[in-house]
Structure 1
Amino acid sequence: MTRGTPTPETMTLHVPFRIVKRGGRKEMQMPDRVRPERTPDNTLVKALARAFRWKRMLDAGEFATIAELAEREGIAPSYMTRVLRLTLLAPDIVEAILDGKRFPEVTLAQVLEPFPVEWAAQPDHFGRTD
């Protein structure tokens, strides 16, 4: 039987990072030499989920109009219309958002602005992924 070295109860780990504000939230920013894991932007993911859910509800005939669904959801029809446009995003862009491969500095507000419906034109509009 071998004896192991006792493990201390507490370990101290030194990791260089900065705290930065992004979209009203505080995030840790690692040094350039450290590649952070890709993390999805929860705000964008939630907006995508809502868009596809609302589209499914409209397509299924659960609601006759966007105004009717917006009233039920308690939001403005104009906002719902902008969010519903996210269902027109190219599949690779949707996948990139869900995988956390955000386009440079893309925020929900920017994605809700008018964008080209043609999938081929969207990467140039939003900026290319790495």
Structure 2
Amino acid sequence: MTRATPIPETVTLHIPFRVVKRGGRKAMQLPEGAARSRRTDNTLVKALARAFRWKRMLESGEFATIAELAEREGIAPSYMTRVLRLTLIAPDLVEAILDGKQGPEVTLARVLEPLPSAWAAQPEHLGQIT
């Protein structure tokens, strides 16, 4: 634009995206190569926090069994064991999730699935971590 060119009143931008569900919410997924703002997935962060809190409660002896703790928390013991597995995720992956550097395919449902015990194999199993 030059100084003589008038500024248009409206500008229309076309940005391709699709709507995906992440943690029970709808979110925009931009095409490959598009600049992404980093956003933490609050559902994942809460699950990680709960997992490490429950682990600390069990290790301290505050609760003797997972069943006892699950009853106190009002959840099923099977769900608690799945969430407790989050404490076995590699530290660099936990940090990436807390920083919002995980890809759209890294969801709570995905991380609650059984993961490889070797930390080196976990990034490949989970998907994109930027």
Q: Under a length normalisation based on structure 2, what TM-score does the superposition of the two structures give?
A: 0.78
Deviation at 1:87, TM superposition (A): 0.3
Instruction: Name the structure 2 match of 1:92.
Output: 92
What's the % identity of the aligned pairs?
71
In 2, Cα distance between the equivalents of 1:30 and 1:15?
14
1:6 maps to which residue? none
Preserved CA contact (<8 Å) 2:44 2:108: yes
User: Which is further off, 38-47 or 19-28?
Assistant: 19-28
Matches within 5 A, 1:1-130: 20-23=19-22, 24-29=24-29, 35-130=35-130
**Shift of residue 28, structure 1, vs aligned partner:** 4.2
Residue 84 of structure 1: CA displacement?
0.3
Q: Distance in 2 between matches of 1:113 and 1:99?
A: 21
* 2:19–2:28 CA contact under 8 A, matched in 1: yes
Residues 16 and 27 (structure 1 numbering): CA distance in 2 closer, same or farther, change over 3 Å?
farther
Gaps of 5+ in 2: 1-9
- State the 1:124 CA deviation: 1.5
Whether contact under 8 Å (1:16, 1:31) holds in the other structure is no
Aligned AA for 2:83? V
Query: After TM superposition, what 4+ stretches of structure 1 lie above 6 angstroms from structure 2?
Result: 12-15
CA-based RMSD: 2.3
| Structure 1 unmatched runs, 5+ | 1-11
Q: Distance in 2 between matches of 1:30 and 1:109?
A: 21
Kindly tell me the number of residue pairs found equivalent between the two proteins: 119
